[in-house]
Amino acid sequence: MFDPYRQIYNYPVDALPKKMGDALYAVMGSTKASEALVVPIILSAAAAAVQGVADVQKPYSSHEDRMPTSMFFGAIANSGDRKTSALKQVLVPFEEFEQGLLQAPQDGVDGTADPSHHFLLEEATEKGVVDLLRRGAKSLFYALDEGALLFDKRLDVPALCKRFDGATIRHASRTEGSIFVADTRASMCMLTQGVTFDRIMNKKGYVLVETGLLPRVLMSFCRGADAPASRFFTPVAVPGQYEALMAPFHERIRSLLRQYARSLGASGRKRQLLTLNPQAAHLWTAFAREMEYEYASSSQWLDVRVFVMRAAEHVLRLAAVLHYFSCDDTQVSETSVQSACRIVMWHLGQAKKAFGEPPTEVRARQLAGLLYDYLARASPIAGPGRISRSQVLRCGPPELRKAAHLNLALCHLRDVGQIVVMSQKGKEEIALVNHRSPMASYDMVGGQRLWL
């Protein structure tokens, strides 16, 4: 069974189709952003383009049982990690669609402009989104380079869950009466600063998880100790290389948006229905059973069971996106399902480390890292060498203001020889061993921010 605390993996970028892989190389090379940040942007953009023209059918279900290909991705990064720059480079075709710049010949007539509408959402209110859908939009993309705008002011959890599910919107208005909007699709790319995300999780994290919103989001943590090992691509100094790498990705998005625009102007036109070929269906079914019977019932994954139970659905949607973005074939291949499984499992590991309860030894290292860093900063202020236990309980990091957590951290640091604990007149005092610099940092293996 996959253990995210002991098995450290890079993002499985080799699972991406060639157009997406080339785009990843181009964006990382030009911005120096990490793959854990850029890949979710690329995948969410691909899903936003595919969702307007194709749905996917769950294996062994009825022909009318359509599932959206919409995807929600979230990436948590620090300020300066190139969130805005990376997102801006990927969104170019969507901006062209909004401006009516995407044109395609129809029925032998050249230069006829396809219908267009507001596609990218940043600070839209729920009423504004409903109005946009009522005016004929069928596909939207929440593209946020600062997701705090959505979480802090305009978060409507039930509405976002409905967007992911493609459910009918039933909106009651005092002035306009009952509003019904059916058959709409929405994807999301939510990029958020780490400090802001910590604050939101401390305030309403339980609600976001239990209502099902965060389990619908494939999360990626790209900051400090939270980030997995990342590889930076160095761009080759060849004129036009960036354009050559990005062009196939952008052109495929343009092609899909043109198909979507034509469907807006054709009454009764439905999306393509993608199905898994027999080998792909067998593989997906095996993955779904493993999630349900092994991972979801395992004590190791029980604390993030809501994320585990969504994994099979994420794989189905993502496999359809990976496949249809590469070609127009409606039979999803086994290779696409394999790639989707690898990507979703990487994100599941991120969810486990961020929202789950770590094993005791990992938790001890996390708390020890917080304590060591606090002691290193506080020593020059408190005087050479010693800090009382009571001071840590009063003034230390919030995670260490519980006696049991502090004891766990003290035991770990004492066992590895980083501190000495002395007792004088009934009071415990803590001293760092061979401490030289207040900027020293303890190595937190498997460390993550704790929401306690």
> What pLDDT does 337 receive?
96
Residue 419 pLDDT > 90, yes or no? no
Residue 315 pLDDT > 80, yes or no? yes
pTM (two decimals): 0.82
pLDDT in tens, 347-379: 999 998 888 877 677 778 878 888 888 888 776
pLDDT in tens, 5-54: 766 578 899 999 999 999 999 999 888 888 999 999 999 999 999 999 99
Determine the Cα–Cα distance for residues 445 and 380; give it in Å rounded to an integer: 26
Q: Which of 18-27, 207-216, 223-232 has the lowest mean pLDDT?
A: 223-232
Judge contact between 123 and 154, C-beta under 8 A.
yes
> What pLDDT does 238 receive?
59
Q: How far is CA 116 from CA 93, 98, 283, 391, in A?
A: 12, 6, 38, 62
Determine the Cα–Cα distance for residues 33 and 81; give it in Å rounded to an integer: 6
Q: Please name the residue that has the structure tokens 């019932």.
A: 297
Encoded tokens for 61: 């279900």
Residue 189 pLDDT > 90, yes or no? yes
Per mean pLDDT, which of 142-146, 224-228, 276-280 is the most reliable? Answer: 276-280
Q: Which of 37-46, 90-99, 226-235, 417-426 has the lowest mean pLDDT?
A: 226-235
Across-strand partners of 189? 73, 143
Residue 384 pLDDT > 80, yes or no? no
> What pLDDT does 319 receive?
97
Residue 198 pLDDT > 50, yes or no? yes
The residues near 122 (Cβ < 8 Å, ≥ 6 apart) are: 142, 143, 144, 149
> What pLDDT does 403 receive?
85
Q: Where would I find the beta strands (DSSP E) of 323-436?
A: 331-332, 386-388, 419-424, 427-432
pLDDT in tens, 398-413: 888 888 888 888 888 8
> What pLDDT does 258 receive?
93
pLDDT in tens, 107-140: 444 444 557 789 998 877 788 888 888 888 999 9
> Considering the chain, what percentage of its residues have pLDDT values greater than 90?
38
pLDDT band at 151 (very low <50, low <70, confident <90, very high): low
Average pLDDT of the chain, as a whole number: 82
Q: What is the CA angle 220-87-157, rounded to 5?
A: 55
The predicted model gives 137-146 an average pLDDT of 90
Q: Which of 60-69, 155-164, 203-212, 433-442 has the lowest mean pLDDT?
A: 433-442
Judge contact between 343 and 12, C-beta under 8 A.
yes
pLDDT band at 428 (very low <50, low <70, confident <90, very high): confident
> Considering the chain, what percentage of its residues have pLDDT values greater than 70?
83
> What pLDDT does 87 receive?
93
> What pLDDT does 448 receive?
39
pLDDT band at 208 (very low <50, low <70, confident <90, very high): confident
Q: Which of 104-118, 154-168, 371-385 has the lowest mean pLDDT?
A: 104-118
The predicted model gives 437-450 an average pLDDT of 41
> What pLDDT does 202 receive?
80
The residues near 159 (Cβ < 8 Å, ≥ 6 apart) are: 126, 129, 169
Residue 424 pLDDT > 90, yes or no? no
